[in-house]
Chains A and B, each alone.
Chain A
Amino acid sequence: MSAPSLVAVVDDDEDVRISLEMLIGSLGHDAMLFTSADALLAAGGLNAFSCFISDVQMPGTDGVQLARKLRLATSAPVILITAFASEDVERRAHDAGVHRFLTKPFDPNVLIDELEKILG
């Protein structure tokens, strides 16, 4: 187990946010929770994060727009999760260069595998 990394979690649903924090914690890493993409962008210090997990449908900046902005600021991978999956959203997500696109509810083991690959 290497030194703990910091993962940013962006979701307007509190239950999902906290559950992701638990999941990341159980892998021995730390999570920082944000209720919206705008809150994350306002907080700054994007280089502190080794990975971003974000919902797509949120008030204000949505997850795909966030992914585009993050690509300009950091090389850390972005994983998008959404309850409103459509082919269109998925295509936009991949065009925005997201690392992985998951549909809620997803198999947490898939996310664990991704995070272990990213965070070591």
Chain B
Amino acid sequence: MRQISAEMLDLSSESMVSSRADGMITSWNLASTSLYGWQPREVVGRKLADVLGTYSEAATQEAGATGLWEGKVERRRRDGSVCTVRLRLARCSQPEEPEWLEVSSLLEAEHPAERALAASQYRYRNLFGAVAASFWELDFSEVGRIIQGLARSGISDLPAYLRMNPGMSRELMRVTRIIDTNDRSLEMFGPGTKRELLATPLDFYWPQESTADFTDSVISAITNRPRHVAETKMRALDGRLFDVLFTVSFLPGTVGGGTLLVGFTDISDRVQAARQLGDVSARRQMLLDVPTIALSELAAPEIAVTFRRLRSEGVTDLHPYIDRHPEFIDYVIGHLRLTSVNEAAVRLFGASSAKELIDRSMTGIIAPGCEVMRRSIEGSFVREPVFQSEMRMFRLDGSPVDTLFCRVSNPDPDRSDVLVAQIDISEQIRGRDEVERMRQQIAHASRISLLGQLTASIVHEVSQPVTAIANHAAAAERLARLPEPPKHKLADILSMIGQHAVRVGDIIQRLRAVAANREVPMVRLSLEDILSETRVLLRQELNEKGVRVVLDCGPGNLAVLGDRVQLQQVLANLMMNAIQALDDVARPTRRIDLGLRSDEREVHVSVSDNGPGLSSEFLSAPYQSFRTSKPDGLGMGLTICRSIAEAHGGSIKVQDRSDGRGVTSTLSLPLVEAADAAGD
């Protein structure tokens, strides 16, 4: 008995519990945890009679006499429910300490639903085990009870209360029971055994710094959102921390409610990449913090006169005045004269010497109608002594330079001269854009990778029962054609076909809960912005392939409601398809036309290429699901694009161009009143 390790017992699909002669539990395998709900650490060392109930008199007598007893026993589980198990009790007579071993499996349960669950459990495990992402099934029912208690005790704003009390979130983690995890979880959270993974309390996996992310997911659950996605840090069994993207789905119709399916995708590499990039720009910043500051003095006597005149006319605020007279900004720029500059300013403006700058106006150096300049002028007018902002200026050769611009006015109100200090921050701006672009690509990539992994899982899981259905049907057909068809066998086969179809349905339900993004967060977006962002995202591909992009945005700013990243994904996908369609077109003539049109109901974004047009195989199955993703991770296939478009209340059409060779893909979305779209 004792040379059998706990891990070996875990391989059994039947519950195995061993106990000493005095009734103390000495081992408890994984299947016991699934069947009775207790974790090994909760019961080892307790009396078996207290945990599961006593054996009948007859059982202990017979097992004592013959070494074995078998029969039905009623058992109570951790959650108080009752189940009937088939039990085999064996006495292993070791010379020094006799041990009892019991092997039990579920015979019938209280709820009919649970019976169905037990039947589907094996199948589900199969599904669960094969998925490429790490999945955890959690019992959240105790959390639900605590939350209800809090609500009853008069706390009205639960989300606020939870955010204020991280200790409560830690407590909620501790009462969450881990029901099951899949094989991929061991790779991600290991090294360790599945037993260790399941027996470790949930709060171990959530480092303190991630408490708020856990809290947010609980708040999602309380506020009845069917799905929650976030990035956070998790801890593995060996203590190392790693970055994950996690999704939480609340499974409808699970027994007793309160069961959650949580999926984790490891994104450490990507987060690491972003962090390194951040470090690079931080280092750059350090170098730039000790710059040579460009200093210039400017005089503007005419402007001082104009300011006095406006004040005498009763103007107190220049803002509405400039609204009426936008040319006023350029008037000021044209009358600001450089009276002295330092060496750094000469370099900044790209001049050959100070002489080239002295007495020059700022026309050409500051862009016409410059918005930052306008704010500086409005500040001067109300005698704000200092104005500071970022400003893009132009060197003498016309090339742009981003600066941190600081204007200090002479405290004497009769003087018009100002001192301007500037630091060249072009590098940082570039770094910042770079980080921002990286960040977007990471968000983009992690979503796509999760999507890709889910897609692969669906394909694999569904193909098994579908294969079985096809084989059974072919076998049944052959048997039915025999002169004397074996009716019983045929009936068996048909019943199996039915069961497999149910399995497919189960898989689809479970994966739908994870994969389906039924709730699109609706934000007002400008399609024009999204289109140009997508262009930036694909800049590299466009440059490499030498594709010219022509944007025709039509009039007005067209706004839609939707999710920025998802719509970017759709457009990126349509553009990638267009880029690939141009592979066989001569480089100089490769061209993609982006169009933005609207009618009174919808906005239409079109992506047209001048490639060879649609292939006949595409025409026969345009939305062929689950094509393998292309290495660049954007090949999500039109199927997913179409479902994103539909989730936004829109549609996607792909057809040959009406005006010649090539293909036009059109994304149509419901129009919201044309107005300035908010950013995020």
Contacts and interface: CB of A to CB of B under 8 A. Distances in A.
Given A13-B126, A26-B474, A26-B478, A19 B628 contact: no
A86 interface: yes
B493 interface: yes
Contacts of B479: 26
B474 A106 contact: no
Assign chain B's interface to a size class. Answer: 20 to 34
Nearest to B499: A15
Interface string A53-95: 0000000000000000000000000000101101000000000
Contacts of A15: 464-465, 468, 496, 500, 503
A83 B465 CA distance: 11
Given A26-B479, A83-B460, A104 B628 contact: no
Interface string B126-151: 10000000000000000000000000
B118 interface: no
Contact of B467 (A14, A27, A105, A112): A105
Contacts of A84: 456, 460
Contacts of B628: 86
A23 B474 contact: yes
Given A15-B465, A86-B628, A108 B459 contact: no
A84 B130 CA distance: 11
Contact of B470 (A13, A27, A105): A105
B464 A109 contact: no
Given A15-B500, A18-B496, A108 B464 contact: no
B54 to A, nearest CB: 36
A100 to B, nearest CB: 15
Contacts of B469: 19, 105
B493 A22 contact: yes
Nearest to A102: B467
B475 interface: yes
Of the listed residues B464, B467, B470, B479, the one surrounded by the most CB atoms of chain A closer than 10 A to its CB is B467
A81 B463 CA distance: 11
B473 interface: yes
B475 A22 contact: yes
B467 A104 contact: yes
A83 B463 contact: yes
B496 A83 contact: no
Interface residues of A, number: 24
A118 interface: no
Interface string B473-497: 1111011000000000000010010
B371 to A, nearest CB: 53
B466 A108 contact: no
B464 A13 contact: yes
B346 to A, nearest CB: 61
A66 B252 CA distance: 42
B60 to A, nearest CB: 37
B630 to A, nearest CB: 13
B471 A22 contact: yes
B319 interface: no
A4 interface: no
B220 to A, nearest CB: 33
Contacts of A81: 467
B174 interface: no
Contacts of A112: 474, 478
A19 B468 contact: yes
Interface in B341-365: none
Given A19-B496, A22-B493, A86-B628, A104 B466 contact: yes
Given A13-B126, A84-B460, A86-B628, A23 B467 contact: no
A117 to B, nearest CB: 16
B474 A83 contact: no
A19 B126 CA distance: 17
B77 interface: no
Contacts of B472: 19, 22-23
Nearest to A24: B475
A113 B460 CA distance: 25
A74 B457 CA distance: 34
Contacts of A18: 468, 496
Contacts of B456: 84
Contact of B471 (A14, A20, A83, A86): A20
Contacts of B478: 26-27, 112
A18 B468 CA distance: 8
Contacts of B470: 19, 105-108
Nearest to A25: B475
Interface of B: 122, 126, 456, 459-460, 463-476, 478-479, 493, 496, 500, 503, 628
Interface of A: 13-16, 18-20, 22-23, 25-27, 81, 83-84, 86, 104-109, 111-112
23 contacts: A16-B468, A18-B468, A18-B496, A19-B471, A19-B500, A22-B471, A22-B472, A23-B472, A25-B475, A26-B478, A26-B479, A27-B478, A81-B467, A83-B463, A104-B463, A105-B467, A105-B469, A105-B470, A106-B467, A106-B470, A108-B470, A108-B471, A108-B475
Given A19-B469, A23-B471, A111-B471, 7 more contacts: A19-B496, A27-B478, A83-B459, A84-B460, A108-B473, A108-B474, A108-B475
